[in-house]
Amino acid sequence: MTEAGRLDYAATLDCVHCGLCLPHCPTYQETGRESSSPRGRIYLMRGVAEQRIPLDELVVEEMSFCLACRACESACPAGVRYGHLVEGMRAEIDARGARGRLGRFVERTALRRVVASRRVLHAFAGALRLYQRSGLQRAVRAARLLALAPPLARMERMLPAVPDAHRAPALVPARGARRGRVAFFAGCVMPELFGPVNAATIDVLARNGFEVVVPAQQGCCGALHRHAGDPEAADRLHARNREAFAPDDFDALILNSAGCGAALRDGGDALARKVRDASEFLADAGLREAPGALPLRVAYDDPCHLLHGQRVAAQPRALLRAIPRLELFDLPGCRDCCGAAGIYNLTQPAMSARLLERKVQAIRDTAPQVVATGNPGCLLQIGAGVRAAGLAVEVLHPIELLARAYAR
């Protein structure tokens, strides 16, 4: 007898318990606990569904403790869709009320009412911008006013310099002869915290002969909601984006956020088949306009949801190697998670910090001038790490480096 609920029980049976995933799992590497491995967590899921294991604190904690980085998927010979499984199990946990009500309420309110609302998120980012530019941030830090609220202090330390919000025009014409027409997914956090990355992406696409359309009706992709066990909200947001983008009107849907790209690519619909990461699309299409020289030493770090979720690895490196005088190398441990993992750095700060320290130590050891990575969570996490360590290292999106090379 099984009681799978929102868990895809049949998919758990694909796991053959070979253990090839173990060396690739960050939490297993750090703890050595079988229950903190993909194989162990699938055993727990199956046990709960078969009513052999109670849905108790251990199960709830292990599902939360997982980063859902999907490194195990790249290693799995049986093709187990682990990310799909852990998201389903988290949804089942919430459906059964097995998680603390207060934590669930705060998380869902933040994701549904702030992250998914363009108006609220814009106002929130504006308040953060004022907080920084008014000098209040320096005063708060000097007085250590957030010391009594560790979660808030962690969020504040993650905050980069908030730029002016970026609002792309609805249509950006191709420069020179038009090679094609693409749609651009602006995202929710990207326009507010990483506006220059969005501007650079659109500019580079136009420079290389692509007309760029940016539908105003688009919104949050829902990735954070699905990771957090809220598939209803994720489905609503995905439906909204299906209405905003008409797949027959463009050649590709371009994203510069690895997590958003993986979420939309997993949709299994006509829109999903058009999804391309910006670096993937440009590298495959070929650069029409040669970039200028950038004499920089650059370490590349793979975003988990680009490498494991979308299986894109060679193209960002090829794009960076196309920049003259740029010395590119892989950051040691480049395939390992940095500990950002959506909101994991807020919900599991201790493990997140341990994984971030690995990255920071690799940066210390190799001394790049720039770390390049293509996901907002990674940019925030690694950026906070190098600032805390006092390292004179820029953390940039690969497309930003290409735009700089063009500007030269």
**146 and 246 together in one domain:** no
CA dihedral 300, 304, 306, 307 (to 10 degrees): 80
Asked, for residue 2, whether it belongs to a domain, the answer is no
Domain that holds residue 176: 171-285
**71 and 118 together in one domain:** no
Which one of 95, 122, 142 terminates a domain? 95
Asked, for residue 166, whether it belongs to a domain, the answer is no
Asked, for residue 290, whether it belongs to a domain, the answer is no
CA 117/CA 407 separation, integer angstroms: 34
Residue 343 in contact with residue 381, Cβ under 8 Å?
no
**129 and 199 together in one domain:** no
Residue 89 in contact with residue 63, Cβ under 8 Å?
yes
Asked, for residue 360, whether it belongs to a domain, the answer is yes
Indicate which CATH number applies to the domain containing 90: 1.10.1060.10
**280 and 182 together in one domain:** yes
Hey, what are 393's tokens? Answer: 């290292």
CA 145/CA 44 separation, integer angstroms: 42
Which one of 45, 64, 95 terminates a domain? 95
Residue 2 in contact with residue 50, Cβ under 8 Å?
yes
Residue 230 in contact with residue 91, Cβ under 8 Å?
yes
Work out how many domains the chain is built from and give that number: 4
The H-or-E segment that residue 372 falls in is strand 370-372
**323 and 361 together in one domain:** yes
- Kindly give the confidence (pLDDT) of every residue in the chain, 408 residues in length, as a single tens digit, with 9 standing for 90 and above: 577 789 999 999 999 999 999 999 999 999 999 999 999 999 999 999 999 999 999 999 999 999 999 999 999 999 999 999 999 999 999 999 999 888 899 999 999 999 999 999 999 999 999 999 999 999 999 988 888 888 888 888 888 999 988 889 999 999 999 999 999 999 999 999 999 999 999 999 999 999 999 999 999 999 999 999 999 999 999 999 999 999 899 999 999 999 999 999 999 899 999 999 999 999 999 999 899 999 999 999 999 999 999 999 999 999 999 999 999 999 999 999 999 998 999 899 999 999 999 999 999 999 999 999 999 999 999 999 999 999 999 999 999 999 999 998
For the chain, the first-to-last Cα distance in angstroms comes to 66
